[in-house]
Structure 1
Amino acid sequence: MADVLTAPPGVTRTRPVSVRRAYRFELVKLVSQWRVRLLVLVCWLAPGVFVAGVAAQSTLPTDTLFGRWMHATGWAGPLVILGFAGVWALPLLTSLVAGDVFAAEDRLGTWRHLLVAVRSPGRIFAAKALASLSVLLVLVAGLAVSSTVGGLLTVGHHPLVGLDGAAVGASDAAVRVLLAWLCALAPTLALAALGLLGSVAFGRSPMGLLLPALVALVLQLAQLLPLPVSVRVALPGSAFLAWNGLFTGPVQLAPLLIGVVIALVWAAAATGLAHLLFVRRDFTNPTDDASGRRALTFGALPLAGLLAVSVAALGLAAPAEGSGITQEKVQRSVATAFGHLYRTQADELHRPAVDEDALRPSAACTKAGVGDGAEGAGNDWRCVVSWHLPDVEATGQAVYQLDVTSDGRFVADGDGPKEVNGYFLVHTSTGDAPNPLWQFDGTVELLSATPHPLNKVPKG
């Protein structure tokens, strides 16, 4: 159907409604739905209440990234919420908003009325896509703002400990938290575009509504598998995890930028496919709401091809092989984090300050008894960290058990000696806290080729 309908001879041709007017109409329709209003209320209130409640508890979600720092700084709260949102909240929101924006017209049988009012399928598509995007931006902003306000009001504007063990200043932490949420918008847009495609392709079927959530679930399962780096980074949801690299020194930009670009390409491709499928639909036939063959031809096959091309391109360009988790990278990351946290511990215990260059921390790591050449994820990593103190001849050593996940994140658990990395409380400016060397989070840069000159660590 053309943008401007052809009028019979002698009849004045009517111009279609502008996209702006159609957008306002679609936005009002979305906001008038009770479930959308409920989502807005929940997103703007629940995260702040949750962060404030957790910060007031004696126990913390230490199994969640940055969860162990929720008593120390208000900037940990929005990062904990971001980790949860990338797994559950954002896929659900995209399903409920974008996944139903076209299918609702099929269920209600209102396409003919809408076409008569707007007189342009292309403008209807643009209006619905923009309206759903606007609502999603409001929901994501609510999650970020609410969790940040809740954390800052409850805990305060204090420095944040990064994934390399170094303290990130409060102002710098604020910028990085904002960038992390902005980067998470890219995979959110990709899921929203898949929701538009599913809503157009499946019509009345609930599959359109479930598509973003199902795709997100598949992506989460894929991240748990020992996939090659080129496949892992090429997935459209990789930016939901790659924002972790903003909290290391130096910042791990490569996987984050690649993840954002790929997610935006997926968003553009899925939106284009949805538009193509929508404008080619026969609206004169009330039973023509979707076709499984068209969904496969215009949806699944092109996106599968996009994934294959992305994997092939990254396989040629990425400076890492296999899982990207190697013995050298694990040793470097553990030693760097230990060095930063050792200085923090010395300060909290009111010991003389130690220069990190003089400390010279190093780590020797093995995995399941494998010495040289150990690689891959697993909870069977064991690292012996060594360091030197000025005017002390003996070399200090501490043992850690590591649980390394497939995406490169690890949790180091102190295994002695007790006075170094055992559990005991230390007094900090924000109150009593566990020994910073007892347990700490870190990350391995999957695409790194050479260590940064400031982070070079001698072999243990």
Structure 2
Amino acid sequence: MTTPTTDPIPTADPVRTADPIPTTITPPRTAELTILAAERIPLARVYRFEAVKLVAQWRVRLLVLACWLLPGLFVAAVAQQGTLPSDTLFGRWMHATGWAGPLVVLGFAGSWALPLLVSVVAGDVFAAEDRLGTWRHLLVTVRSPQRIFAAKALATATVLAVLVAGLAASGILGGLLAVGNRPLPGLDGHQLAPGEAAGAVLLAWLCALAPTLALAAIGLLGSVLLGRSPMGLLLPALVAVAVQVAQLLPLPVELRLALPGYAYVSWHGLFTAPARPEELLISVVVSLAWAAVATMAARRLFVRRDFTTGSEDGAGRRALTLGVLPLAGLLALTVAAVAAAEPASGTGLTQAKVQRAVATAFAHLYRLQTEQLHRPAVTEDQLAATAACERGDGQVDPQGAGNDWRCVVSWHLPGVAAAGQAVYQLDLAPNGQLVADGDGPKEVNGYFLVRTPTGDAPNPLWQFDAELPLL
């Protein structure tokens, strides 16, 4: 018989010793915080990453290219045409000076181009992460929702600043190359020297950044609130359209100045003599306040969001209390502040303002016509121009906006006993912009061509623009 064998029972290694007991023990929470602090991503690095993500999008690159090329090509092309966009502010002067072109571009950009650009850039900056499902990866990498929000907001503002700078630079360069660096007639008919016109144009474009940032902040708020919904992309454009519609209504001055987009219009006061920067300053401050409040509301909603589940892509019921109510409160506060700082009555469009604006513009442009026709020089003091204006043949209260204004302008010439008179039909917009159309006599304000150093141009007294101060 064979004896069964059994495996030997393992015994402990006699030479092995126990592991040494550590002398110091680091609390787990402290160690975790130390690791997180050591691996925290700097804001500048996150900002560069977000900026590269924005610029890498084909639509953003296409917008940058369009903003830096199309305005200049448009201004240069219009300057070579026989007809001008006379229904646009400063459009009738695009043959006379290169500084009129960038102002025409600014008027169009404030109404349509910039709100659409803001929607494309800012309205999708947070919603894109929801659609792609990349929030968890981004949060694990950066470890700070506050830094993510700040980086996205700064990257959005940078791209928008590049787009606005491209619109301004392209329009200015196209106008100067196509027409030249010549004096610009202001909104009261006086001539701005090329240097003065350059400063006013640049300041007008710089102030346009304020309402653009306000719309961008609203876009960030909509992108955080609405998540994957396409309404977040459209929100800045819808707000801009609503503001434009409101500006067409006979609003009180306080409410008009408290709207975030009025800075797209209030730059008109820079092109009068003397300049009227009060409305522009108020509207810029209001726009910056809207940008600050909307950005803070978007940040508060973003940092409170629960990213542990993929189902939540917006704020839900918090949208009203944290998103809409702060902006409504800001609107009420700004209306009260403007009313207290700059008291005004009604729409601010009174008969006295209309008469003063028409008489002033007529006197300045009469001097320009005299110079172009090579007649003896005359000053505004010698002309002593006055205007008598009424609405609806005297049947309507002479105040407020409308196209039924009629003015009779009277003036005097040295050595002539009888006073001259000319009739104008007016179209007064609710924002104070006025268009005067000559209605006789033909030799004064009728349509005829005048030979100028830059070529034949329409009679400057035939049609002209003016601006009424609302305050």
Give the match for residue 172 of structure 2: 148
- 1:68-87, aligned counterparts within 5 Å? 68-87=92-111
Cα offset for 1:244?
0.5
The answer on whether the counterparts of 1:326 and 1:373 sit within 8 Å (CA) in structure 2 is no
Contact 1:7 1:13 in 2 (8 A): no
Structure 2 distance, partners of 1:247, 1:113, is 52
2:226 matched to 1:221? no
Q: CA deviation at 1:373?
A: 5.5
For residues 10-409 of structure 1, what are the structure 2 equivalents within 5 Å? 11=32, 13-15=35-37, 16-370=40-394, 374-409=398-433
- Tell me the equivalent position of 1:453: none
CA–CA separation in structure 1 for the residues paired with 2:30 and 2:413: 94
SS of alignment partner, residue 35 of structure 2: coil
Task: Give the share of equivalent positions with the same residue, in percent.
Answer: 69
Counterparts of 2:181 and 2:395 in 1: how far apart (Å)? Answer: 43
1:423 and 2:447 aligned = yes
> 1:450 — aligned with what?
none
Q: Decide whether the 8 Å contact of 1:86 with 1:184 is kept in 2.
A: yes
Which structure has the larger Rg over C-alpha atoms? 2
Q: Which residue does 1:445 correspond to in 2?
A: 469
> Quick one: distance in 2 between partners of 1:21 and 1:291?
28
Partner of 2:20: none
Report the 3-state secondary structure (helix = DSSP H, G, I; strand = E; otherwise coil) of the residue aligned with 1:64: coil
Separation in structure 2 between the aligned mates of residue 391 and residue 211 of structure 1, nearest angstrom: 63
Distance across 2 between alignment mates of 1:8 and 1:254: 57
Counterpart-to-counterpart distance in 2, 1:290 and 1:427: 63
Offset at 1:78? 0.4
Q: Distance in 2 between the 1:209 and 1:295 partners?
A: 16
Separation (CA, whole Å) in 2 of partners of 1:120 and 1:234: 35
- Displacement of 1:315 after TM fit? 2.4
Aligned-pair distance for 1:317?
A: 3.0
| Structure 1 stretches lacking a partner, 5+ long | 1-5, 448-460
User: What do residues 412-442 of structure 1 show as CA deviations (whole Å, max 9, x unaligned)?
Assistant: 0000000000000001111110000000000
The answer as to whether partners of 1:365 and 1:371 remain within 8 angstroms in 2 is no
The one-letter code sitting in structure 2 at the alignment partner of 1:129 is A
Distance (whole Å) between structure 1 residues aligned to residue 36 and residue 317 of structure 2: 35
- Measured against aligned partners, the alpha-carbon deviations of 1:52-101 in whole angstroms (never above 9, x if no partner) come to 11111101011110000000001000000000000001101111001111
Offset of 1:369 from its aligned partner?
Answer: 2.3
Find the aligned partners of 1:55 and 1:153 in 2 and give their Cα distance: 10
TM-superposed CA distance for 1:295, in Å, is 1.6
Q: Secondary structure at the match of 2:426?
A: strand
Q: Is the contact between residue 391 and residue 406 of structure 2 (CA under 8 Å) also seen in structure 1?
A: yes
1:163 aligns to what SS in structure 2?
A: coil
Cα drift, residue 291 of structure 1 = 3.0
For 1:395 and 1:317, how far apart are their aligned partners in 2?
42
Paired residue secondary structure (2:291) = helix
Residue deviations 1:168-212 (CA, integer Å, cap 9, x gap): 101110000000001111000000000111111111111111110
Aligned length: 442
Kindly tell me: are residues 7 and 418 of structure 1, through their superposed partners in 2, closer, same or farther at Cα, counting changes over 3 Å? farther
Structure 2 unaligned regions, length at least 5 = 1-26
Are the counterparts in 1 of residues 305 and 315 from structure 2 also a CA contact under 8 Å? no
**In structure 2, how many angstroms separate the alpha carbons of the residues matched to 1:41 and 1:7?**
53
Instruction: Report the CA distance between 1:7 and its aligned residue.
Output: 6.8
**What TM-score results when the alignment is normalised by the length of structure 2?**
0.92
**Displacement after TM superposition at 1:261 (Å):** 0.3
Query: Using a 3 Å threshold, how does the CA distance of structure 1 residues 227 and 101 change in structure 2: closer, same or farther?
Result: same
Amino acid at match of 1:435: N
Equivalence for 1:458? none
Cα RMSD for the two superposed structures = 1.3
Contact 2:99–2:175 (8 Å) recurs in 1 = yes
- The amino acid that maps onto 2:141 is A
Distance 1:167 1:121 in 2: 53
SS of 1:445's partner is: coil
Residue type at the aligned position of 1:58: G
With over 3 angstroms needed to count, the CA separation of the structure-2 counterparts of 1:10 and 1:293, relative to structure 1, is closer
Alpha carbons 2:97, 2:181 under 8 Å: kept: yes
Greater Cα offset, 306-315 or 36-45: 306-315
CA distance in 2 between counterparts of 1:37 and 1:237 reads 26
Give the alignment's TM-score, normalised by structure 1.
0.94
Kindly state the Cα deviation for residue 318 of structure 1 after the two structures are TM-superposed.
2.3
**How far apart are 1:300 and its partner, in Å?**
1.1
> In the aligned structure 1, how far is the partner of 2:174 from the partner of 2:326?
43
Q: How big is each residue's C-alpha offset from its partner over 1:378-407, in whole Å with a ceiling of 9 and x where there is no partner?
A: 000000000001111101000000000000
**Aligned-residue offset at 1:371:** 7.3
> 1:13 offset after TM fit, Å?
1.8
Q: 1:133 to 1:7 in 2, by over 3 A?
A: farther
**1:309 Cα deviation (Å)?**
1.3
| Contact 1:327 1:372 (8 Å CA) reproduced | no
Distance 1:323 1:9 in 2: 64
